[in-house]
A = this chain, B = another copy of it.
Amino acid sequence: MYKQGKYPIVSKKTLAKGIFDIEIYCPHIAKAAKAGQFAQVQAEGFFLRRPISICDINKDKGTIRLVFEVRGHGTDKISELNKGDLVDIIAPLGNGFKVLDKGKKAVCIGGGIGTPPMVGIAKEYGENATVISGFRNAAAVILQEDFKAMGCDVQLCTDDGSAGRKGFVTDALLDVLKSEKPDIVYACGPMIMLKNITKICEENGIYCQVSLEQRMACGVGACLVCVCRTVKDGQEFNSHVCKDGPVFDSEEVVFDE
């Protein structure tokens, strides 16, 4: 059941330059939400809503967390909201990540602003999760303390080596695979990163889910604008990120050449 409403922001933090973390009190949504789902957030003065992943869910407090980067005018407007303000959202949307049984091991990989949705899913695995996140540089690093607090094995990469190891998240993943084979890999980030992770997982026979992005209008599956190419049984067809996704089994995604 989708909910639309104006909900109060109960806390707001700046995680890095231009990256904001808001916690919204919306008990019905928090109750229904799963890791990997998203919210359609209204930016005042703009016609279309902005899709933002649900970073974390606190069912007890009745809150969800959205972590987003200012990328354009709409997210800039959303970033002007403060504690106590109401934010108009539709949520929870999309399918969310598949959660395996207790005891299974997961690797959660976030690239840049693809990192936030990893919080919710890594939480499901706690100490059984390895979280690999990649950022441009030390100044862009976010959410590492959250992952540590959940007991995850945290591996940080930066492009320039200014924090954690220098290099790509795929390098870190290959290293992890040397010592253990996880039951599932979750990934969110740039297409090229998802493509490479998909390839690695395929080669290693690991089940992998990726969270995709596409420009959206309705966010619920009605307007068909948020198309992505998928494949099943050798047959290519259009899926829709908002309803069929944003999470797809990586083997079903057709990555452009």
A44 to chain B, nearest CB (A): 7
Bound Cα distance A200, B238 (Å):
76
Bound Cα distance A44, B46 (Å):
12
Interface assignment of A234: CB less than 8 Å from any CB of chain B: no
Residues of B near A44 (CB, < 8 A) are 45
A184 to chain B, nearest CB (A): 45
Bound Cα distance A44, B44 (Å):
10
Residues 25-71 of A contacting B (Cβ, < 8 Å): 44-45
- Copies of this protein, total: 2
A207 to chain B, nearest CB (A): 47
Residues of B near A45 (CB, < 8 A) are 44-45
Output the nearest chain B residue to A44 by Cβ-Cβ distance.
B45
A76 to chain B, nearest CB (A): 15
Bound Cα distance A45, B45 (Å):
6
A73 to chain B, nearest CB (A): 13
A33 to chain B, nearest CB (A): 30
Bound Cα distance A45, B44 (Å):
8
Output the nearest chain B residue to A45 by Cβ-Cβ distance.
B45
A85 to chain B, nearest CB (A): 13
Bound Cα distance A153, B45 (Å):
47
A28 to chain B, nearest CB (A): 28
Residues 177-230 of A contacting B (Cβ, < 8 Å): none
A65 to chain B, nearest CB (A): 28
A244 to chain B, nearest CB (A): 34
A8 to chain B, nearest CB (A): 18
Bound Cα distance A45, B42 (Å):
14
A80 to chain B, nearest CB (A): 12
A236 to chain B, nearest CB (A): 43
Tell me the A residues contacting B by CB distance below 8 Å.
Answer: 44-45
- Could you show 2 A-B contacts with beta carbons less than 8 Å apart? A44-B45, A45-B45
Question: When A and B form their complex, which 2 residue pairs have the shortest distance between CB atoms, in order from nearest?
Answer: A45-B45, A44-B45
